[in-house]
Structure 1
Amino acid sequence: MGIIDEYWTGTLQRLQAEVEVFNRLIAHQAERGRENELSLARLLENLIPGRFGIGTGLLFDGRGKYSKQMDLLLFDRIDSPTILAQTNQLLYPVEEIRLCIEIKSRLVKAGVEDAAKKKDSVQALQPAEQYRSPTFALFAYDADTAPETVGQHLASLADARKPDLTCVLDPGILAGQRRLLDPSSDDSSHMCGLTLLHELDPDGARMRGRYVVADPTKGYDRQAHNGSVYPVVDFNGQQVLSDPSRALLLFCEAFIRLLAEQESRPRPVLSHYLDAPYRDIQPV
């Protein structure tokens, strides 16, 4: 296992442990959801370039139109007007925002439609000339349905209403334009797939297309493998292990790379460490 694998596996374990503890301690659903939002925000604060800040609130445009409430926002810290930052900022000019993230503790069909409505509200805003609408992402900690059903829920949305990027951490689902998930592709079609747990060769390198098969004598929900616990999913009629840490890694790398591209900056260093096996996503 390489340095990237070890780091992101540890990052995922910390994130999941933090969320599980607060979900047990906090009975109120709204407060539980907010803590889950803050857990992701703390992770992103250590990841995104320093010129970006993380907030929450509503976007507005020059016509006085407002978006719906956004769970997390990545905004341009350098160009933020100080007149709107004297207290905890809740209102942001659409031109400042680079990324909106809708966060769900558990993704259900209604949650997919709710995310689409929030993206609609952002797309309805009119940025000033030479500015673009923010990227819109959907992040969920887990789903209440099989990966195939999640894919169907996303596919049922019109293309313009689909989140630009979707991650369901458990069991490890990623969705978005193929060229966003894999920079070597120029395919703009939407895909939804699983980040399955790779078998390793004798040197510890990932083997693309070869995945760890679940032990039929153990449970079919989650299983331990090499000291970590992984979700069990159906793949081509077989029970295999999925790799949420790789889904988290690719989700974060995708929007960081997109932010760099939008500002005509070089690709982030992280992108160069992710070779073909890392970007192996099996369609559902």
Structure 2
Amino acid sequence: MIAHQGERGRENELALARILERLLPGRLGVGTGLLFDSLGKYSKQMDLLLYDQIDSPAVLAQTNQLLHPVEEIHLAIEVKSRLSLDGIKDSGKKRASINALSPIKGFQRPMFALFAYDAVSSPATVAQHLSSLSPDVRPDLTCVLDPGLIAGSHGTLNPATRSSEFTYGVTLLHDLSENRERERGRYVAGDPSGNLQRQHHEGALYPAVDFRGGISLSDPSRALLLFCEALIRMTAERAGRKPPSLTHYLAPSYRDIEQI
């Protein structure tokens, strides 16, 4: 509905911000702007920032640009309407600008996430481009809503493991049992003779992806849920707090991701 690319991008940022504001604990605010350190260095512009709004209020600059001390930021999010290789490289530059800041002793640098509504390339190609980034500038967490790609370390995607190895996968649409329960490893097959981008299932439209030599439907809403849960859990762990209750309520099947 929004033709102007800049306005469309900003609306996409605001849409994600509205979701996060409803999920995050009250001590965390969602903003935008630049980070700075005590040595006078600045980061690049960040689309979304999760900041501590209780202990360290943001400082409003004369240019209406919000400036945040690096110590008060928990996590920065780069938001892309349509993710490309250039967008992935740009996210690496954003992360590098954060790495160049020097927090006061006792504070950590912010974590970094990448969120996109869709991508130019296939999930496997996007994952390959992410893997090509140096680990120090690669996003801690990545989500491409369509077709439901999520990437990060094993420990970030699943708190049951502490592995730091990079992994990725697509959140395929589960095939439900007779009791309408999700069945691990069983997914809704698509019609190979139908539309290879979108297909209907039970009144809803889902992305169609190649999986194990056939077509399966993907579940973007589950990718969004895992992305938001991981963000909340990451910020809680960073602050030395217990994982959110949402983490414990997600059954193992919700964390199923499949490489394609």
Aligned to 1:193: 169
What's the CA shift for 1:166?
A: 0.2
1:198 is aligned with what amino acid? H
TM-score by length of 1: 0.88
What's the CA shift for 1:86?
A: 8.7
SS at match of 2:15: helix
What's the CA shift for 1:218?
A: 2.2
Deviation track 1:76-111 (CA, whole Å, cap 9, x = no partner) reads 0001246x2598661000000001000000000000
Alignment of 1:85-234 (within 5 A): 85=60, 90-234=66-210
2:145·2:220 contact (CA, 8 Å) conserved in 1?
yes
What's the CA shift for 1:158?
A: 1.1
1:55·1:89 contact (CA, 8 Å) conserved in 2?
no
Structure 1's 43 and 78: CA in aligned 2 closer, same or farther, altered over 3 A?
Answer: same
Alignment of 1:17-56 (within 5 A): 24=1, 26-56=2-32
The question of 1:275 aligning with 2:251 is answered yes
Deviation track 1:166-209 (CA, whole Å, cap 9, x = no partner) reads 00000000000110100001211011111111111111111111
2:13 is aligned with what amino acid? E
SS at match of 1:213: coil
2:9·2:81 contact (CA, 8 Å) conserved in 1?
yes
What's the CA shift for 1:254?
A: 0.4
1:267 is aligned with what amino acid? P
Structure 1's 164 and 263: CA in aligned 2 closer, same or farther, altered over 3 A?
Answer: same
**Residue in structure 2 matching 1:58, options 17, 21, 34:** 34
1:61·1:125 contact (CA, 8 Å) conserved in 2?
yes
SS at match of 1:68: coil
Alignment of 1:236-251 (within 5 A): 236-251=212-227
Report the Cα distance in structure 2 between the residues aligned to 1:81 and 1:112, rounded to whole angstroms.
31
2:192·2:214 contact (CA, 8 Å) conserved in 1?
no
Deviation track 1:99-129 (CA, whole Å, cap 9, x = no partner) reads 1000000000000000000000001101111
SS at match of 2:169: strand
1:225 is aligned with what amino acid? H
1:60·1:92 contact (CA, 8 Å) conserved in 2?
yes
Report the Cα distance in structure 2 between the residues aligned to 1:29 and 1:202, rounded to whole angstroms.
45
SS at match of 2:109: coil
- Displaced runs of 4 or more, over 6 A: none
Report the Cα distance in structure 1 between the residues aligned to 2:172 and 2:30, rounded to whole angstroms.
30
Report the Cα distance in structure 1 between the residues aligned to 2:45 and 2:115, rounded to whole angstroms.
15
What's the CA shift for 1:27?
A: 2.2
Aligned to 1:258: 234
What's the CA shift for 1:226?
A: 1.4
Aligned length: 259
1:269 is aligned with what amino acid? S
Aligned sequence identity (%): 59
TM-score by length of 2: 0.96
Give the RMSD, CA atoms, in angstroms.
1.4
What's the CA shift for 1:283?
A: 2.2
